[in-house]
Structure 1
Amino acid sequence: MFAAATIKGDKIAPSLNGKVLFVDVPGGTEVYVEVHGLPEYKPGSENKAPIGPHGFHIHEIGNCTMGDMSNPFSASGGHWNPSKQPHGNHAGDFPVLFSNKGYARMSFFTDKFKVKDIIGKAVIIHENPDDYRTQPAGASGRRIGCGVIEQLNLRTCPYYNNY
Structure 2
Amino acid sequence: MKYLKLSILTLAVAFATSCKDNKKETEETVETEVEKTAEPVITKTEMKIKLDPKSGSNATGSIVFVEENGEVTMTAHLSGLNEGEHAIHIHESADCSSPDGKSTGGHWNPTAQPHGKWGAETGYHKGDIGNFKVDANGKGEIKFTTDEWCLTCEDSTKNIIGKAIIVHQGTDDFTSQPSGAAGSRVSCGAIIE
Fold-level match, TM-score > 0.5?
yes
Partner residue, 1:12: 56
Larger radius of gyration between Structure 1 and Structure 2: 2
Amino acid at match of 1:121: K
Structure 2 counterpart of 1:23, from 44, 66, 75 = 66
Which residue does 1:105 correspond to in 2?
141
Output the aligned Cα RMSD.
Answer: 1.4
Which blocks of at least 5 consecutive residues in structure 1 are unaligned? Answer: 42-52, 152-163
Query: What is residue 22 of structure 2 aligned with on the other side?
Result: none
**Does the 8 Å CA contact 2:168/2:186 hold for their aligned counterparts?**
yes
1:49-128 matches, cutoff 5 A: 53-67=85-99, 72-88=100-116, 89-100=124-135, 101-116=137-152, 117-128=159-170
SS of 2:103's equivalent? Answer: helix
Structure 1 residues 10-48: Cα deviation after superposition (integer angstroms, max 9, x where no partner):
3521x221111111123421110001111223xxxxxxx
26-35 vs 132-141, which deviates more? Answer: 26-35
**Quick one: distance in 1 between partners of 2:89 and 2:113?**
14
For residues 105 and 171 of structure 2, the distance between their equivalents in structure 1, rounded to whole angstroms, comes to 19
Is the CA contact 1:3–1:119 (under 8 Å) kept in the aligned structure 2?
no
**Partner of 2:184 in structure 1?**
142
Cα separation, 1, equivalents of 2:108 and 2:54: 22
Q: TM-score normalized by structure 2?
A: 0.66
SS in 2 for 1:31: strand
Q: Distance in 2 between matches of 1:73 and 1:10?
A: 6
Number of aligned residues: 135
In terms of fraction of residues, the more helix-rich structure is: 2
**TM-score (structure 1 length as normaliser):** 0.77
Distance 1:63 1:26 in 2: 29
Q: Given that residues 5 and 123 in structure 1 are in contact (C-alpha distance below 8 angstroms), is that contact kept between their aligned partners in structure 2?
A: no
Deviation, structure 1 residue 104: 0.7
User: Which stretches in structure 2 are left out of the alignment for 5+ residues?
Assistant: 1-44, 117-123, 153-158
Q: CA deviation at 1:108?
A: 1.8
